[in-house]
Amino acid sequence: MSQVKENDTVRVHYTGKLENGQIFDSSLQRDPLEFTIGQGQLIPGFEQGVLNMKVNEKKTINIPHTEAYGEVREELFHEVEKDKLPEEMQLEVGMGLISKAPDGSERQLILHEIKDETIIVDANHPLAGKDLIFELELVEIK
C-alpha cells in the first residue's frame, strides 16, 4: 500500500482542536480537504503530519504554534480612534472586525481592548501563539 510523499495530491478529513479540546475547524460535514504536499498551501506542521500516511489511516498530530501560525506579534496590535468606526457599531472585546485598505484588500481583526476614545485591534491570525491538535484521516492519494 502506498504512503503519502512529497508532491502527492491528497484528500484528508480533519478536526482541528485547541489544547483545551475546543474544536476550531472540521471537514467532517463537508468534502475532505484536498492539497498537494510541499506546495506550502497549509501550515507546515499539518503537511508534515500527513507525510507517510496510508489511505484510510487515522492519527492525531500535535502541532506547536511555531509550526502553525507562529508567535503573537506585538507589532500587529494597533490603536484606532473610535470616531473612525460606524456610530451604530456595538463594540465588544473579542468581536471580529474587517479593515479595508485603500487598494480594496481586507484584513480580519479582533477587538482586543476598548478605551475611552480608542480601541486596540489585533491583526494576528486568531490561532497565533496556540498549539494545535488535529485528528486526521487520509481519504485518498491522487
Name the fold adopted by 74-122.
Thrombin, subunit H (2.40.10)
CB 17 within 8 A of CB 24: yes
Mean pLDDT confidence for 107-129 = 94
pLDDT at 3 over 70: yes
Q: Where are the domains of the chain?
A: 9-70+127-141, 74-122
pLDDT at 1 over 80: no
User: How many Å apart are CA 50 and CA 8, to the nearest integer?
Assistant: 10
Q: Which CATH number is 9-70+127-141's, of 3.40.1160.10, 3.10.50.40, 3.40.50.1820, 3.40.50.2300?
A: 3.10.50.40
Grid cell locating 79: 490603536
User: How many Å apart are CA 111 and CA 120, to the nearest integer?
Assistant: 6
Q: What is the pTM of this model?
A: 0.82
- pLDDT tens digit sequence for 54-108: 999 999 999 999 999 999 999 999 999 999 888 889 999 999 998 888 898 898 8
Partners of 12 in beta bridges: 33, 138
